[in-house]
Every structure is written in structure tokens, then in C-alpha cells.
Amino acid sequence: MFDALSIGATGMQAQQLNVDTIANNLANVNTSGFKKARVSFSDLVSRHAAPVASRSDDSASGALAAMTRMGAGVGIASLARMFEAGDLKKTDSPYDLAIRGDGFLEVVMPDGSRAYSRGGVIKVNKDGQLANLAGYAFKPGIAVPDNVQELVVHNDGRVQARVAGQTGLVDIGQLELVRFANAQGLIAQGDNLYRSSDASGEAILSKAAEEGVGTLAQGHLESSNVRMVDEMVNLMVAQRTYEANVKVVQAADEMLGMINGLRR
């Protein structure tokens, strides 16, 4: 019964994280570019239980040759981001940028490290560089003229601008995309930015529309890939599972109370 208490506790703890993850998904259902998270479970390391008497008539020893094994509860196997593409929403704003298909834009953080984005609202930062909404410049750096009147980002990542006094567009840079061997291993850090990890592998530099990566879509924003109906169903399942584990703990506690109340 002490085992039942600890097993029930592991189930409650695991489902609490599951509910927290689902709640975060639902809270970001309208966040552009948000990628939902999923919790995966695994059984904890089982241990040998005491041998039981064999019912086989031909057993000489009268005991099972193999020990039975007993589970020790449930644990968290992984908490991974699901990088399924969200729907593209047309905004017609030249400073909205989305990726149609696989791939990430690389940005330079203030400490010089690299982070990766699925696009969103872009702007010209204080240094005159094309950057995301937080002001982190894209890599490679693209300097935008001060007198720019029109900014055009082509599907292949080519960036052009029209400046005052000129009628044609001039090339000012090239946005490149990166991909990962295992995108689910990326670490979310907020602001729709991700960092690489040992699980994701290093970023693989690619060109838009080549080598299996997507294309850029100016005037669009990528919607969250959270599906409200799926998350509500998952929330109900998690709640019922949590309640079942609570019942296990309550039953074990009642049985321990009965044992403590025994008298000779």
C-alpha cells in the first residue's frame, strides 16, 4: 500500500505537468507562430517482486523460475514542441513575414548567441538592421536605407527596397533559412524564439525553396498550430486520469487506516 501511494503520486505529478502544458497551449491559441507542446509518458523502472507459488504440477521447485516484475509508476519521457505548420493569415502588411513550409530564420541575440524564429512582425532596429519585433537582427545582417519607401521580401529570401528619388527596386540583402535534423529538440525561450540543443543538432544553413525547406511569405503571419478541440479533449482526459490517481491514493490511505485500527 505504500507502493500504491507513491505510484498514485507519480501519476498525479505527471498529469499536473500535462494539464499545465495543455493550459499553456490554450493560452497561446491566438499567438502568431506559436507551436504547441506535447508531454510523453513512460513507465518508471520496474523492480522484482517476491516470487509466487507455481500452479504448474510439473514444477519441481514449486516456485516460479522467473521473478515477477512490478511497476513503480509513471514518469515524463519528454516535453517536445510540435512544429506542424500553422495556417497562414494574410495581412497585406509589408512588415509581416511568415515561412510557408519547414525552416527557421536565424537572429543574433544581444550576447552574440543565435536563436531561431518562424517569422512574425519584422522592423528596422535602431542600428538600421532588418530585425524581428524584439529588435534582434536577422543573420546575415541586412542594412536598410534610412530613406526607404518600400520593402519587398521575395519568396526565395531576396530583399529589395525602393528609396526616395529612385523608381526601381535595389537589392539590399538575402534572408537565409536554417533547418534542423530534429526540430522537436529545440528549446523554447519565449518571444517565439528557439535555441538549439544536443537533441536538435546544429543548424543546417539552407536556401529558401531549396533542399526541402520552405519559402518566405511577405504580408502573411503564421497562426498558432493549436487546435482548440484537440486541446479540450486532451484536457478532459488529463483531468480524468488525475482523478483516477487521486482515487488510488485515497483507497491506499483508507486501507492503511484499516490496518492501523486492527486490534489483537
Banded model confidence at residue 180, pLDDT cuts 50, 70, 90: very high
Residue 106 has pLDDT above 90, yes or no: yes
User: Phi and psi of 182, rounded to 5°?
Assistant: -140, 90
pLDDT tens digit string along 107-142?
999 998 999 999 999 999 998 999 999 999 998 889
Give pLDDT, residue 60. 44
pLDDT tens digit string along 36-95?
999 999 888 765 555 555 555 555 444 444 446 677 889 898 888 999 989 999 999 999
Give pLDDT, residue 256. 86
pLDDT tens digit string along 17-29?
999 999 999 999 9
Question: Where is pLDDT greater, at 5 or 53?
Answer: 5
**What does the alpha-carbon distance between residue 85 and residue 193 come to, in Å, rounded to a whole number?**
16
Residue 260 has pLDDT above 60, yes or no: yes
Mean pLDDT of the chain: 87
Give pLDDT, residue 211. 74
The average pLDDT across 149-171 equals: 88
Long-range contacts of 134-137 (CB under 8 A, 24+ apart): 134/191, 134/193, 136/107, 136/108, 136/109, 136/110, 136/193, 137/107, 137/108
The average pLDDT across 164-186 equals: 88
Give pLDDT, residue 50. 56
Residue 165 has pLDDT above 90, yes or no: no
User: Phi and psi of 43, rounded to 5°?
Assistant: -75, 145
SS3 content of the chain, % helix, strand, coil (to 5): 25, 35, 45
**What does the alpha-carbon distance between residue 19 and residue 69 come to, in Å, rounded to a whole number?**
30
